[in-house]
Amino acid sequence: MTKMDPKDVAAIAELARLECDDATLQTFARQLEDILTYMDTLNQLDTSEVQPLYSPVRHETAFRGDEVRQEYSREELLSNAPEADGRYFIVPKVF
Amino acid sequence: MTDWHTQTLTGVRDLLARRDIGAREAVQASLDRIQATEDRISSLLHVDAEQALNRARKLDELGPGQNQPLWGVPLVVKDVFTTKGTPSTCGSKMLQSFVPFYDAEVIRRLKEAGAVIVAKSNMDEFAMGSSTENSAFQMTRNPWDLSRVPGGSSGGSAASTAAGQTPASLGTDTGGSIRQPAGFCGLAGLKPTYGRVSRFGLVAYGSSLDQAGPMARTVRDVAQVLEVIAGHDPKDSTSAPVQVPAYTRALDHREDLRGLRVGVPAEYWGEGIDPEVMEACEQALDRIRDLGAQTVPISLPHTKFAIAAYYIIVMAEASSNLARYDGVRYGLRDSAAKELKDMYTGSRSQGFGPEVQRRILLGTYVLSAGYYDAYYKKAAQVRRLITEEYEQALTECDLLCAPIAPTAAFALGEKSSDPLQMYLTDVFTNPLNLTGLPGLCLPVGQGSRTKMPIGLQLFGRAFEEQTILQAGHVLEQALPPLPQPSALADLT
């Protein structure tokens, strides 16, 4: 049984750059506890000798030469920017 | 065209190839059907009528080119694919105003084959869901019963094709998101082998699980679309450098199922299945035997751990993939924020809906320092056990066969307040994504109680899609065809 209280959820949310109000923290805490408790069923299996499998890819990683190519124009790359000055992405001050 | 909504892709393609109809006429028929059905089912997020008609006009001027098996055919694609110049929202407020400047590789291939993309379909936000109820924009309804879900996350594509808006559509399958909605809406749908179809331009959710694939009214149509979109893409390092067979031609090489060993895994045919699903799938299994296949009892004991392993892995990957949405380069920005960190937090909190936030939080938790080994690594170890078990089973038989879901399409709102209950509906589709193996869903009848479509799935060995397509095609020919979806039957 994994315990999860609203304070724990707030700490994870901080790491994930999310902000939740108190009611949402309460709801998430309850739901995450439920879900993680269900995940605990994996502990019934002894996997001490098992190599993890992170990807089903069956072929060798393909490498290519590290050559500079221009695939898109600056204008295209900036086209979805919430704020830009025609050359750069503009963001608020860092701190 | 009066019977547009009943046409198969192969039928439409032949009409176009013979020039019985032009590309414009086909696209117009599709737009008319959208007009007639959309207010009932709400399957589409953007319809680009002008662009589609312009493209059709150009195609008509040029005529069919060499190697254009989809010349003039209108298609709908899930809004998870980037389409140049057309909004690609992924069902999220975060990407509400996002207009890509490039096409996903599968879109490029469809266009090159002569297809016309008429619309982008609704989906669960960032493909996270099993009912399409997590879309930030609208609720899609099942064309067989407007009070039920179309399935998800590719529910918009499934509802659209079932309603006859276009003869086929594209979806993506991370944990069953092609196969389950295909089953719920009475369609054939294929999740190809991981790596068979390029993921370039597919908005990432679970990178080791995501795979794009077709949904259509017949197995032949699915095979036709797969033939166009499959194949190695140097732009995607997980794309497999494997030859693509001529899938549609392979269908003509089998008339029955003699010589095929079909595995029946006990774990998929046991408790918790609605009797009407069991009844329809067992009847299909009888047909499989009548057609000459030998059925083999199989045991896959680790299947019961698949949901837990799958959700840990997919949430971990999602939290990592969705870190890119920071309000800097694209997507929603909290413009009231005075400092960078507040802008990140504000943008993400306003842009993501509750299910996406839940999965990011869970993913962040299972990847965090103290819990990584207990959750993420453990899930990856269980993933290996499941994969080895399925691969071993597929040495004892040529394909495996199972119901697509424990029930037919459930009611709108029935599970949306309890995330864990919703996750558990994926019980029969998740394992295949963990293993990367291909799976085909095909409709095998209607439930005796609900009258909703019931789907059966066939799993195959890696890169052996033609085996399950051939078997599915033979079985499909032996089953009575489904009628038109009941909630649209008054529209002719």
Beta carbons of B420 and A31 less than 8 Å apart: yes
For residue A90, the distance in angstroms to the closest alpha carbon of chain B comes to 8
Closest C-alpha to B60, from B85, B29, B86, B24: B24
Q: Which residues of B are catalytic?
A: 78, 153, 177
Tell me the pLDDT band of B223, cut-offs 50, 70 and 90: very high
Q: Is the pLDDT of residue A90 over 90?
A: yes
Residue A62 DSSP SS3 = coil
Sign of CA dihedral B375, B379, B380, B384: positive
CB B228 within 8 A of CB B246: no
Q: Is residue B65 scored above 80 in pLDDT?
A: yes
> For the whole model, what pTM was predicted?
0.97
A&B contacts, CB < 8 Å? 172
- Taking an 8 Å cut-off on Cβ atoms, the answer to whether B337 and A20 are in contact is no
User: Residue B40: pLDDT above 80?
Assistant: yes
Average pLDDT over residues B67-95: 97
**What is the DSSP pairing of strand B261-265 with strand B212-216?**
unpaired
Q: Which of A16, A34, A56 sits opposite B360 (nearest CB)?
A: A16
pLDDT at res. B265: 97
Q: What is the pLDDT of residue A88?
A: 97
Q: For residue B86, which phi and psi values (nearest 5 degrees)?
A: -120, 135
User: Which of B307, B326, B368 is opposite residue A15, by nearest beta carbon?
Assistant: B368
Tell me, what's the pLDDT at B253?
A: 93
pLDDT above 80: residue B2: no
Q: Contact at 8 Å (CB) between B140 and B108? A: no
User: In the 8-state DSSP scheme, what is residue B488?
Assistant: G
Three-class SS of B150-180: CCCCCHHHHHHHHCCCCCEEEEECCCCCCHH
- pLDDT bracket for residue B369 (50, 70, 90): confident
Residue range B390-447, pLDDT digits in tens:
999 999 999 999 999 999 999 999 999 899 899 889 999 999 999 999 999 999 999 9
Test the B interface: residue of A3, A42, A75 with most B CBs within 10 Å: A42
The DSSP string of B86-116 is B---TT-GGGTT---SS--HHHHHHHHTT-E
pLDDT band at A2 (very low <50, low <70, confident <90, very high): confident
- Contact yes or no for B329 and A52 at CB 8 A: no
Return the pLDDT at B252: 94
Q: How far apart are CA B492 and CA B486, in angstroms?
A: 12
SS3 for A69?
coil
Q: What is the pLDDT of residues B461-491, one digit of tens each?
A: 999 999 999 999 999 999 999 999 999 999 9
- Mutation pick from A4, A21, A50, A89 vs chain B, by most beta carbons of B within 10 Å, is A50
Nearest Cα to Cα of residue B182 among B139, B233, B221: B221
Nearest C-alpha in A relative to B313: A54
Contact B398, B353 (CB under 8 A): no
How much of chain B is helix, strand and coil, in % rounded to 5? 45, 15, 45
The CA distance from A56 to the nearest CA of chain B, in Å, is 5
A95 pLDDT more than 80? no
Across the interface, whether the CB atoms of B194 and A36 are under 8 A apart is answered no
pLDDT (0 to 100) of residue B407: 97
Beta strands in B249-398 (DSSP E): 261-265, 294-298
Whether the predicted pLDDT of A58 surpasses 90: no
- Tell me phi and psi for residue A32, to 5 degrees: -65, -40
Q: Is-cis flag, bond preceding B335, omega within 30? A: no
**Beta-carbon contacts of residue B182 (< 8 Å; ≥ 6 apart):** B151, B158, B171, B188, B189, B215, B404, B441, B443, B455
Strands (E), B11-56: 44-47
Average pLDDT, chain B: 97
Please indicate whether, in this complex, the C-beta atoms of B97 and A80 are within 8 angstroms of each other. yes
Contacts of B427 in chain A (CB under 8 A): none
The alpha carbon of residue B46 is apart from the nearest alpha carbon of chain A, in Å, by 18
- pLDDT score of B315: 97
A50 alpha-carbon distance from chain centroid: 26
Neighbours of B395 (CB within 10 A): 8
With 90 as the cut, is the pLDDT of residue B145 above it? yes
Radius of gyration of chain A (CA): 23
- How does DSSP assign B179-194, residue by residue? HHHHHHHT-EEEEPPT
pLDDT interval class at B232 (50, 70, 90): very high
Return the axis-axis angle of helices B23-41 and B49-62, rounded to nearest 10°.
160
Q: How confident is the model at residue B225 (pLDDT cuts 50, 70, 90)?
A: very high
